[in-house]
Amino acid sequence: MTYRRAVLLVSAFVLTAMMTGCGGSQKPSGVLGVVLLQAGPMAVSPSPPLPAEFGTKIEGFRYRFVVVQVKAMSGAKAGQVVARMKPDAQGAFKVDLPPGDYVLKALVPKNGPYPRPTSVSVRKGRQTPVIVYVEGK
């Protein structure tokens, strides 16, 4: 193999990697969320407070006694459950997902609070903040 041909092959490989996002420079997309329990007429702010990207009008107790289910609403897996995860002790969860539209729903224990499905659009290279609410009975 000649020097010129080797340089062309390496250049082609590097250019292909840059165009396809290979090399670890692309951020994963998905959701960064928290489960909150809204219990009756009582208005409380989560403790500890949520990061600013979740907004300012947030009320509820952090709630971890659920499994969060993610259902794809667009793309090749539309209508299918694509992920399930348990929140941590603070009710927080994170899941990497390809760009698209999803519905997140808390799967609650029998006789538990009422889950409110939450719709979210995930964009390429971004972790989208989302709050999944459950309501006390």
Give the CATH number for residue 64. Answer: 2.60.40.10
Look up the domain containing 77 and give its range: 27-135
Letter string b/e over residues 98-129, b meaning 16 or more CB atoms within 10 A of that residue's CB: bebebebbbebeeebbebeebebebeeeebbb
Distance, first Cα to last Cα, the chain = 74
Residue 118: band (very low, low, confident or very high) from pLDDT cuts 50, 70, 90: very high
Q: Is residue 71, in this structure, part of any structural domain at all? A: yes
Q: Is residue 105, in this structure, part of any structural domain at all? A: yes
Retrieve residue 136's tokens: 């006390």
The domain total for the chain is 1
pLDDT in tens, 23-67: 555 789 999 999 999 876 655 666 667 777 777 667 788 899 999
Which amino acid makes up residue 33?
Answer: G
Mean pLDDT score of the chain, rounded to an integer? 81
pLDDT for position 39 = 75
pLDDT for position 41 = 61
CA 112, 116, 121, 126 torsion-angle sign: negative
- Is 84's pLDDT higher than 60? yes
pLDDT for position 17 = 47
Of the spans 4-8, 55-59, 79-83, which averages the highest pLDDT?
79-83
What global pTM score does this model have? 0.75
Q: Is residue 2, in this structure, part of any structural domain at all? A: no
Q: Is residue 20, in this structure, part of any structural domain at all? A: no
Which amino acid makes up residue 98?
Answer: P
Contact yes or no for 69/80 (Cβ under 8 A): no
